[in-house]
Structure 1
Amino acid sequence: MKTLQNYAAILRKRRDDLELSQQDMRLKIGMSQQQYQRIEAGADTRLSTLLRVLDGLDMELVLIPKESVRQVEQQLTQLDQARSADGEKSRGLSPWQLVKDLEDD
């Protein structure tokens, strides 16, 4: 299982990839900049707050049974490879690659 710091890094990287400042996020999701800063710092947060942040970052929370994680990882890897083969470019790392890079740290 990832730590709160891992998830915070994913959120921060996604915001950077979307070229949004913390101020932009504050305005986009309607919370104080201080509260948003705490989330990116890895503070524990309510699920409803996390869902607001994810929506502001055009992300989705997906829950996967542990026994299915390897299969989902393989599917996401294949999808990333197919996109690369088609010459599809994305701004920054794909969310999947970001998660894999954080796991390697």
Structure 2
Amino acid sequence: MFLYIKKQLISFLMINLLQQIKNRRLALKLKQNDMPMRIGISRQQYQRLEAKGNPRLDTLELIAKGLNSDVMLIPKEKLNAVLAVLESDGNNTSLTHKQPDHSDEQKKLSDDPWKGLLEDEDDNGN
């Protein structure tokens, strides 16, 4: 009984993974025919893989690279937080990385392009 449940779980996880691969490909507006050039396997291999495959880790990494993605192992206790970030799609400014404002530094640099090049940070009062 346990072995049957384990096989079902593995089958479910594989289907979920294959669906994620397909969803990512479609999100990038790529066709199955586009993938061989991106990852270096034949069209038939890719189609078989996406349909029912059980990819090796190195193949999975190639597919992820071809889809501008990474393969990650996410701890279960962090999964909901990761999914929330992914679903926000960068719209939540508190979750996105803010770029520092260097406009004041740029102004100083345009006034004196040599400023700070030959000085130690301690000499500048920093």
Q: What TM-score does the superposition give when structure 1 sets the normalisation length?
A: 0.66
Q: In 2 relative to 1, CA 48–77 (structure 1 residues): closer, same or farther, beyond 3 Å?
A: same
Q: In 2 relative to 1, CA 79–25 (structure 1 residues): closer, same or farther, beyond 3 Å?
A: closer
What are the Cα deviations for residues 25-55 of structure 1, in whole angstroms up to 9, with x where unaligned?
1111111011001111131121111110010
> Of 56, 74, 85, which residue of structure 1 is paired with 2:81?
74
Displacement of 1:81:
4.0
What residue number does 1:15 align with? 25
Unaligned runs of 5+ in 1: 87-105
What residue number does 2:60 align with? 50
Q: What TM-score does the superposition give when structure 2 sets the normalisation length?
A: 0.56
What are the Cα deviations for residues 70-92 of structure 1, in whole angstroms up to 9, with x where unaligned?
33422541564483345xxxxxx
Alignment of 1:32-43 (within 5 A): 32-43=42-53
Instruction: Decide whether the 8 Å contact of 1:22 with 1:36 is kept in 2.
Output: yes
Instruction: Decide whether the 8 Å contact of 1:7 with 1:42 is kept in 2.
Output: no
Percent of aligned positions with the same letter in both sequences?
35
Instruction: Decide whether the 8 Å contact of 2:36 with 2:43 is kept in 1.
Output: yes
Q: Secondary structure at the match of 1:84?
A: coil
Unaligned runs of 5+ in 2: 1-8, 94-126
What residue number does 1:102 align with? none
Q: In 2 relative to 1, CA 3–30 (structure 1 residues): closer, same or farther, beyond 3 Å?
A: same
Q: Secondary structure at the match of 1:49?
A: helix
Instruction: Decide whether the 8 Å contact of 2:36 with 2:46 is kept in 1.
Output: yes
Instruction: Decide whether the 8 Å contact of 2:60 with 2:71 is kept in 1.
Output: no
Q: In 2 relative to 1, CA 37–77 (structure 1 residues): closer, same or farther, beyond 3 Å?
A: same
Point out the structure with max Rg over C-alpha.
Answer: 2
Across the aligned residues of Structure 1 and Structure 2, the Cα RMSD in angstroms comes to: 2.2
